[in-house]
Amino acid sequence: MNTQDAVKDLRALSRLINTSIDQIENEMLSRGQTYPLLSEPYSPETEEPRMAPDILAAGSIITAAAAQLIASVSIPVVSALVTSLQYEVSSSLRAAIQAHVPEILREFGNKGLHVRDIAAHTKVDPSRLGFNWETLPPQSTVVDVGSGIGSMSLELAEAFPHLNFVLQDTPATLANAMNFWSMELPEAINTDRVVLQAHDFFEAQPVKQPSVFLMRMILHDWSDDKAVNILRHLCVAAGPETQLVIVDKILSYACTEDSFVGDIPGAVVERLPPSPLLPNFGYAAVSWYLADLMLNCHNGTERTLVQFRQILEDSGWKITNVHRSEDNFSKITAAPAHLVPRNLTSELLAKL
């Protein structure tokens, strides 16, 4: 099969969807009925139009065609990941049923309810890189917290030779890091431009007043209280010029976020998907939400920007800018809350 054959299949699936939607629309008009909205509460009365045999048949065609269309355009590895994480959905449904979430939401109708307010009714815990590196002064120290072998610091060290780095992780991980750096950039190790330091980030931070604390894909492994503990140690060690750079996934809401984070420079998503798609891209981004469910089972969590702001404020930091990348990982910059934050722009943050 060549490319044209594949495109023909995509168009054929699209036509099936459109034709079936036309059929539903015509039948609803001829019968004087209204097809149920996704946002409407379920009831036998609202479902009656959908239960007619011809409407069910059209809906089955749409479902089959849409699923095949999704499978055709999705990356196979992502499809496998989504499938492997589906077991989390049944666990979440059980939790929602046991906490009587449907009954609570029914009372509030289409407006919905914030998770904190749902938790208040149920007594359930509601919690269940771009950066302007080249403007840092010569000999500035970047502390890579939870560095792993230091692959990100290697990119930075090669691109910005005026910076020094401290890689902090467990002794076993740093042994692998030494092998990695000895092969990739041995002169940085030999000249102490890059220092490997065994450190538990739940303990007091030994490096005082560095230019940058860098955290890449660290905080999603930890619950809010643990994350606040980690961040608080960094804030205590920060100096007047210290900045915190977090490289991580920022989950989006299924609604627009302007009213939640509009006061944070760079936070508002400028390129939303076309209507009527959900602002978070719905099923196209489902793997991240399934990953969040999986992390929750292990006392971790992916976070929205609202949640990032909360743990940063609770640990003494204030977000100064957000750079949302085209790739999966965004960058959050913060400064100690008691200090006047730097005026960092999104344009500067985009440089990495």
Q: Cα 88 vs. chain centroid, distance in angstroms?
A: 17
Structure tokens at 190: 């030999």
Which of 100, 121, 220, 298 is catalytic? The answer is 220
Helix (H) or strand (E) holding 18: helix 3-31
Amino acid at 121: H
Is 97 within 8 Å of 305 (Cβ atoms)? no
The backbone region for 32, taken as left when phi is positive above 0, alpha when psi lies in -120 to 50, beta otherwise, is left
Q: Which of 311, 325, 315 is nearest to 249 (CA)?
A: 325
Rounded Cα–Cα distance for residues 104 and 216 (Å): 38
Q: Is 220 a catalytic residue?
A: yes
Rounded Cα–Cα distance for residues 3 and 159 (Å): 39
Is 27 within 8 Å of 55 (Cβ atoms)? yes
Is 151 within 8 Å of 174 (Cβ atoms)? no
Judge residue 181's burial from the number of C-beta atoms within 10 Å of its C-beta, 0-12 exposed, 13-18 middle, 19 or more buried. Answer: buried
Contacts of 349-352 with CB under 8 Å at 24 or more apart are: 349/130, 349/131, 349/132, 349/266, 349/321, 349/322, 349/323, 350/130, 350/323, 351/130, 351/131, 351/132, 351/133, 351/134, 352/129, 352/130, 352/131, 352/133
Structure tokens at 166: 């401290």
Q: Backbone phi, then psi, for 230, in 5-degree steps?
A: -60, -50
User: Annotated active-site positions, please?
Assistant: 220
